[in-house]
Amino acid sequence: MPQTSPITVSITRTVQPGQHRRFTAWAQAGQELAREREGYLGSGWVRTGPDSDEWHLLYRFADEKTLRAWDDSEDRRWWIESAAGLVETTRVEHRTGIEGWFEPQGEETLTIPESVVPPRWKQAVSIFLPFFPLSLLSTFLLMPHLHSWPTVLAVLLNICILTPLMTYIFLPMSTRLLRPWLQKPRR
């Protein structure tokens, strides 16, 4: 089944020493090229620290099809080739749904529109809504069979069962159902 939810691409790039001004111009040029593509939802970049050569670039597309069109485009190929000797890519990750929320928090702000990243309280609600009934169901169905087990092992088994269910089924479902509310622009 093709991916229909928004996809955020996180790329870690190491900028060659003394090339930070050129890098920001290069990143802005890429942002302008991507902005014209169908399905583009936003992008930005953040530096790991004030003196760091490591930068994290993020861009987000509406779905796998529009992301692939950007990734395979002549514009992107030209843009990437223009960075020869300027940056080195050290990591690329694609994220959908809630997994992008588990990133370390930086002190810099991104240029991604606010409507893309919900406030923390909305994230907590979208996790709580599936987690509470699933935990309750597990307590009633699984825990009575584990009453003779040591508490640590019973809880460990419970978490080993619930974590994949939450990660692969219930959190994606929750974020999909709550998407209009989660992405509502902040006032």
The rounded mean pLDDT for the chain is 80
Locate 24 and state its tokens.
Answer: 């920001």
> For residue 78, how many other CB atoms are within 10 A of its CB?
11
Q: pTM higher than 0.85 for the full model?
A: no
Q: Give the tens place of pLDDT for each residue, 28-61.
A: 898 899 988 999 988 888 888 878 888 888 888 8
User: Which of 62, 60, 97 lies closest to 175 in space, CA to CA?
Assistant: 97
Distance from CA of residue 30 to its chain's centroid?
A: 19
Q: How confident is the model at residue 106, as a pLDDT?
A: 39
Q: For residue 138, is pLDDT > 80?
A: yes
Q: How would residue 3 be classed by pLDDT, with cut points 50, 70 and 90? A: very low
Q: How many whole angstroms separate alpha carbon 132 and alpha carbon 129?
A: 6
Locate 182 and state its tokens.
Answer: 């989660």
Q: How many whole angstroms separate alpha carbon 132 and alpha carbon 166?
A: 11
Q: How confident is the model at residue 162, as a pLDDT?
A: 92
Q: How would residue 21 be classed by pLDDT, with cut points 50, 70 and 90? A: confident
